[in-house]
Amino acid sequence: MKAIILVFIGGGFGSILRYGIGQLMMGFSQKFPYGTLLVNVVACLILGYLIGITSKGMLSNEMKLLLMVGLCGGFSTFSTFSAESFQLYNTGAVWSALLYMACSFVICLFAIYLGLMMGKG
């Protein structure tokens, strides 16, 4: 039961962060989902860092549940990414859809690597 509560708390906080960043980024553009891209990159950076410090034994199982499963799971928005990619494509913005998918994939992979290296120190 403790694990479920930790994931619940982390997930709720991550979801609130995702919502807040989305609201802040809405003023930048209605034509490109900058907020979701930013959230996914930041979530990957955080997750990579947490994986890195976990490999050094610096994160308890409880903190892994709270931060890695809960916070990062609630914060990252891959399902939203998929829906937005489809929406861009479906409305004829094929190049924007491809650019969005490519940027998300490449930059998030780099962010995971960077976070991992930062965590390993």
Give yes or no for a contact between 11 and 71, defined as CB atoms under 8 angstroms apart.
yes
Would the pLDDT of 112 be above 90? yes
pLDDT value, residue 91: 95
Q: Where are the domains of the chain?
A: 2-120
From the list 11, 65, 70, 75, the residue with the least C-alpha distance to 43 is: 75
Q: What is the CA radius of gyration of the chain?
A: 16
Instruction: Encode pLDDT of 28-78 as tens digits.
Output: 877 889 999 999 999 999 999 999 999 999 999 999 999 999 999 999 988
Q: What's the pTM?
A: 0.81
pLDDT band at 26 (very low <50, low <70, confident <90, very high): confident
Give yes or no for a contact between 19 and 76, defined as CB atoms under 8 angstroms apart.
no
Give yes or no for a contact between 92 and 107, defined as CB atoms under 8 angstroms apart.
no
Would the pLDDT of 7 be above 90? yes
Joined together, the tokens standing for residue 62 give: 């409880």
